[in-house]
Structure formats: C-alpha cells, structure tokens
C-alpha cells in the first residue's frame, strides 16, 4: 500500500467517524424490525446549519432513520451524537432529546383539541399557563399556516385539511424551539404556493440549525441546497453537495436513480 492510498483510507475513515465538525453525527446505524434488516450501517453527519435532503425510493428506510434519531425506535445499533453528546445518555432522557430534535412526521397526527392548543401541546404546564400568543403566531407563520387559521384558532384541529394538519404539526414542533429539525416529506400534501412558503421558511430556520428533510421531489432537493444523502435498501449509496450529486454523481446506482427514478442496489 502506498502512502497516498493509506492517507485516503485514513481520510475516509475520519469523515465516516465524524471527526470533521458536525452537529449531528450518525455512525454505523443499524436497525432490525420484525427480523428484517431495515437500516444497514448508516453513517453521515449534519453540519451546524443548512438543510440536508434525504432522498431514496419508497421503503429505503428514510422514515425509520428519522425515528432512530429521536429514539422512537429504541433497538437501533450504532452511535448517534448531537452536539458531541451520545443520544443514549442525553441529559433529561427521551423527552428532553425530543425537545432538542424536532420531528415533523410523514403522517400528520393532530390531537383532539383546538388549533391553538395543538401548537402549545408539547410545552410544560408552567409554559402553557403563560400567554403564548406571540409564540403561537410566530410558529404558525413559520409553518405557513397563520393566514389560514388566525381567525379560527379555537376551532378543532381535526377540521383542518390534511395539508393544513401537516403544517400545524410543523408549528407544534417549532413551538418547542428545537435545535435540530427533521422533516419527513413536509410538503407532500401541499399546493405549490404553500410548498414555496415552507421552503422559504426552511431556508430561514436552517440559518440557525441543522435540518434534515426527506423528500421524493428531486427539484425540491436541489432548491433546498445543502447536502444530498441518497439511501436505498437501508444503506447510504452516496452523500454529496447538491451540485456534485446532480451534475457528477459518483455511483452507478445514483446515475440510474436520477435517470429512471429507480434504484437496483441489491
Ligand atoms: N414497524 C415495522 N415493522 C416491520 N417493518 C417495518 C416497520 N416499519 C417500517 N418497516 C419496513 O421498513 C422499511 C423502510 O420503511 P420506511 O417507512 O422507513 O421507508 P421510507 O424510505 O420512509 O419509505 P417512503 O418513501 O414510502 O415513506 C419498509 O420495508 C417497511 O415495510
Ligand atoms: Mg417514509
């Protein structure tokens, strides 16, 4: 082995094991559900700011990965660290971790309560007793929902459309002032105008925190900038900047996926 090869292997290992500056770092994450291997040694990192797009075919394991990040699946293997702290030993436990890492799930789940109460649902009893009207307005604006609900905040949340419910879930997550944002297809049920507003809001939020956005919309992934993480069959196929990913993808699987929207990575 010559010196250069040795250096390259060392650099690759360092990048893989998150010795490069990263706010969120996943190392060799594996997950088995019902005896099926869902995630296979997934490693990547998120920088302190900016949006990363997680893409890949249906069933690739994208939602499962987000659930591991917030410990909604408890049986994953590997190491996840956030701000240098192993999430398994997070101070304050899972509730504190889920406050730090906001997850906007693929399927909206509003609570049987008013729009207003849904936004403040995750706050502590003490916080809920204080006047939260400014926080509610800000979060609903960030979720591009304020104009549609400002005159009906005390109506039941389940009277909202699916797209509106999804944005309400985003407002509820933002009300907890997370330091990391995970979004699972946040604009899948939205009309083009709402989608545009959410993307603008994501760009603003990502100036202050790392965001990981699952999307099937490759044009959206390009608009979001940041890095692209391409997954298939529970594995990371390629991680690259937007320009490198779309203009000079390294892996054959990536080129096929970009061309045919399918991935044959088995
Ligand atoms: N609780 C579970 N038990 C068994 N298998 C599961 C469970 N949850 C998910 N899976 C399987 O894990 C795989 C990955 O699912 P996941 O929802 O993470 O995919 P995805 O990439 O988010 O897909 P989509 O783009 O359709 O949302 C799928 O094959 C799915 O059937
Ligand atoms: Mg999913």
pLDDT at residue 131, as a whole number = 93
Domain count, the chain: 1
Q: For residue 165, what are the β-bridge partners?
A: none
pLDDT at residue 264, as a whole number = 80
Model-level pTM?
0.91
Distance 263 CA to ligand 2 centre (A): 16
Q: Is residue 235 part of a domain?
A: yes
User: What does the alpha-carbon distance between residue 33 and residue 231 come to, in Å, rounded to a whole number?
Assistant: 18
Ligand number with the minimum distance to the CA of 65: 1
Q: Is residue 221 part of a domain?
A: yes
Taking only the tens of pLDDT, the chain with its 266 residues reads 343 334 333 434 444 455 556 999 999 999 999 999 999 999 999 999 999 999 999 999 999 999 999 999 989 999 999 999 999 999 999 999 999 999 999 999 999 999 999 999 999 999 999 999 999 999 999 999 999 999 999 999 999 999 999 999 999 999 999 999 999 999 998 999 999 999 999 999 999 999 999 999 999 999 999 999 999 999 999 999 999 999 999 999 999 999 988 888 76
pLDDT at residue 265, as a whole number = 78
pLDDT at residue 41, as a whole number = 97
pLDDT at residue 21, as a whole number = 66
For residues 224 and 186, is the Cβ–Cβ distance under 8 A?
Answer: no
Record the tokens describing residue 79, joined without a space.
């190491």
Q: Which of 37, 53, 58, 64 to mutate to test the pocket of ligand 1 (most atoms within 8 A of CB)?
A: 64
Q: Which residues line ligand 1 (CB under 6 A)?
A: 33-34, 36, 38, 56, 58-64, 106
- The alpha carbon dihedral of 73, 75, 79, 83 has a sign of positive
**Residue holding tokens 């490693």?**
43
Q: Which of 42, 61, 68, 230 to mutate to test the pocket of ligand 1 (most atoms within 8 A of CB)?
A: 61
CA-nearest of 264, 206, 247 to 53 is: 206
Q: Tell me whether strands 24-33 and 36-46 are parallel, antiparallel or unpaired.
A: antiparallel
Q: Is residue 3 part of a domain?
A: no
Q: Is residue 7 part of a domain?
A: no
**Residue holding tokens 């099937």?**
216
Q: Is residue 10 part of a domain?
A: no
Q: CATH code at 54? A: 3.40.50.300
Q: Is residue 13 part of a domain?
A: no
Q: Is residue 1 part of a domain?
A: no
Domain of 125, in residue numbers: 21-260
pLDDT at residue 18, as a whole number = 56
Q: Is residue 63 part of a domain?
A: yes
CA-nearest of 94, 6, 53 to 214 is: 53
Angle at Cα 104 formed by Cα 102 and Cα 109, nearest 5°? 120
């Amino acid at each position: 082995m010559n010196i250069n090869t040795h250096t390259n292997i060392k650099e690759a290992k360092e990048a893989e094991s998150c010795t490069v500056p990263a706010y969120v770092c996943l190392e060799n994450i594996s997950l088995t559900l019902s005896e099926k291997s869902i995630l296979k040694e997934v490693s990547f990192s998120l920088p302190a700011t900016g949006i990363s797009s997680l893409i890949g075919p249906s069933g690739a394991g994208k939602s499962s990965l987000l659930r591991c990040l917030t410990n909604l699946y408890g049986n994953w293997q590997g190491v996840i660290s956030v701000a240098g702290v192993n999430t398994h030993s997070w101070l304050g436990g899972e509730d504190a971790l889920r406050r730090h890492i906001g997850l906007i799930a693929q399927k909206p789940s509003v609570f049987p309560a008013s729009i207003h109460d849904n936004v403040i649902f995750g706050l502590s009893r003490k916080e809920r007793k204080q006047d939260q009207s400014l926080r509610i307005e800000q979060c609903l604006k960030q979720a591009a929902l304020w104009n549609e609900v400002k005159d009906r905040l005390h109506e039941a949340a389940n009277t909202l459309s699916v797209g509106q419910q999804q944005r309400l879930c985003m407002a509820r997550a933002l009300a907890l002032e997370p330091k990391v944002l995970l979004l699972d297809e946040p604009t899948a049920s939205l009309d083009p105008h709402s989608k545009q507003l959410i993307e603008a809001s994501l760009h603003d939020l990502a100036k202050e925190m790392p965001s990981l956005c699952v999307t099937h919309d490759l044009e959206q992934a390009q608009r979001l900038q940041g890095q692209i993480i391409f997954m298939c069959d529970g594995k990371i196929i390629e991680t690259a900047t937007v320009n490198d990913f779309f203009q000079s993808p390294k892996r054959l699987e990536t080129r096929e996926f970009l061309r045919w929207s399918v991935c044959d990575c088995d």
